[in-house]
Amino acid sequence: MSDLLITGARLLGGEAKDVLVREGTIVEVGTGLDAPGDVERLEADGLALLPGFVDLHTHLREPGREDAETIATGAAAAAAGGYTAVLAMANTSPVTDTAEAAERVLDLGHEAGLVDVQPIGAVTKGLAGEELAELVLMHRSRARVRVFSDDGRCVSDARVMRRALEYVRAFGGVVSQHSQDPDLAGPSACCHEGELSGRLGLPGWPSVAESSIIARDAQLARHTGSRVHVAHVTTAEGVEVVRWAKAQGIDLTAEVTPHHLLLTQDLLSGYDPTFKVNPPLRPSEDVEALRAALADGTIDAVATDHAPHARHDKEHAFVDAAFGMLGLETAFAVVHDTMVRGGRLDLATLADRMSTAPARIAGLSGHGSAIEAGAPATLVLVDTEASQTVDAAASKSLSRNNPWHGMSFTGAVHSTILRGRVTASLQGAS
């Protein structure tokens, strides 16, 4: 591998520096650096250099639904979005509930070679919510699984959740919970419960279905001395419970999606299934609470919940369409435009929320590191001035359920670098 010299990049949006990379590792950060011999140059004047993004919540559809996404196409979308690692949710077919299944996902990620694909293990066998999956064997496998989730479904049985937390505590694992009390918000609930759901005649999904599960899980985390991560928090009530739990010293972290940071429930009035997602889009007061919580650190991380779906699963009447939207390629633009240009976050804090914090939550080494000599060259260059209009047809994803199509944002990923290798660039992957 040739050396790589990145010149003139603003580190975390601050001072301009040159970064010299050898054998995938940063060897020098300074000014006026030069490298003799075989060196690939990346002129980064005016661009900002951040640690590569880490997505705690990605749905790749392999195995089982390779018509919607494969590990290779999802990895390409991730690299285009500035990601250097993604955690692949377990709700595939078959479910990632064994050591072999987890190793298979890991190996397919290696073959694709564009981002580190770290499998998430199911909490329960077949996501059925009853019998625990092979948590310890998945952890001991080559995949070293540390994050477990039945995402798509809530681990609603408190006894099962308690036992899962006891098991993962032994090796520093974490349970990522899809917080949706199925008795309060059943499988057809698809619109925030309120005046709008009544007017549209759509089954309601009340905020308390989220906040009550977060509260219960916080209590279980305290009781077991274990760790819970709240997937896709979407409501002001949910944020309030997360804030309370942290104030008690409970080991709990939370993530928010780009779509819940920007889009609101009003988009549902046209019954366009592109905007059908679980949990549903919420009113603007919730969006405001989520932005404030991400800014003040109550919410630790941004996670995409990238959820590709084939046309024939999405193009139905609203109530019958699949839940979920694409997110990997647009996450930085949406978060930058909403939070950084919105004056709520600086670039260094964005890097924490999109890289350092998620890497820490997932226990993923080699990602989210400080940009200094000795660290892996796992980085993203972003252009904070570039404006772009999203074109669904240009996506690397196999699916087209893109709620951002036609929208314009300021902020774009310029190049993604995984251990010294450019995995995506504005000009296409090299």
Closest approach of ligand NCD to the CB of residue 163, in Å = 22
Neighbours of 343 (CB within 10 A): 8
Least distance from C-beta 151 to Zn ion, angstroms? 4
Binding ligand NCD (rule: CB under 6 A), the pick from 230, 277, 340, 350 is 277
Q: Which CB atom, from 98 or from 278, has the smaller least distance to ligand NCD?
A: 278
Smallest distance, ligand NCD to C-beta of residue 292, A? 23
Q: Is 293 helix (H, G, I), strand (E, B) or coil?
A: helix
* End-to-end Cα separation, the chain, in angstroms: 13
Nearer to ligand NCD, 152 or 206 (CB): 152
- Backbone phi, then psi, for 255, in 5-degree steps? -125, 155
Rounded to the nearest 5°, which phi and psi values hold at 34?
A: -140, 155
- Residue among 65, 178, 353, 396 that touches ligand NCD (CB under 6 A): 178
Question: Choosing among Zn ion, ligand NCD, none, which partner's interface includes residue 146 (Cβ < 5 to 8 Å by kind)?
Answer: none
The least distance separating Zn ion from the CB of residue 210, rounded to whole angstroms, comes to 11
Residue 7 CB neighbours (<10 A): 18
Pairing of strands 39-43, 408-418: unpaired
Q: Does the protein bind ligand NCD through residue 323 (CB under 6 A)?
A: yes
Among residues 55, 286, 300, 305, the one annotated as catalytic is 305
Give SS3 for 187. coil
Distances (CA, A) of 2 to 5, 25, 41, 144: 10, 12, 10, 30
Residue 324 touches ligand NCD, criterion: CB under 6 A: yes
Find, among 131, 181, 154, 151, the residue nearest to 55 by Cα.
151
Q: Which two tokens stand for residue 104?
A: 């298979």
The answer, yes or no, to whether the previous bond of 203 is cis (omega within 30 of 0) is no
Is 305 a residue that touches ligand NCD (CB under 6 A)? yes
305 given a catalytic annotation: yes
Q: Which amino acid is it at 163?
A: R
Residues that bind Zn ion (CB under 5 A): 151, 178, 305
In a 13 Å sphere around the CA of 99, the CA atoms on its Cβ side amount to: 10
Active site residues: 305
Where do contacts with ligand NCD occur on this chain (CB under 6 A)? 59, 91, 151-152, 178, 277-278, 305, 307, 323-324
Q: Which residue ranges make up the annotated binding site?
A: 57, 59-61, 91, 151, 178, 232, 278, 305, 309, 323-324
Q: Which residue ranges make up the annotated binding site for substrate?
A: 59-61, 91, 278, 309, 323-324
Q: Which residue ranges make up the annotated binding site for Zn(2+)?
A: 57, 59, 151, 178, 232, 305
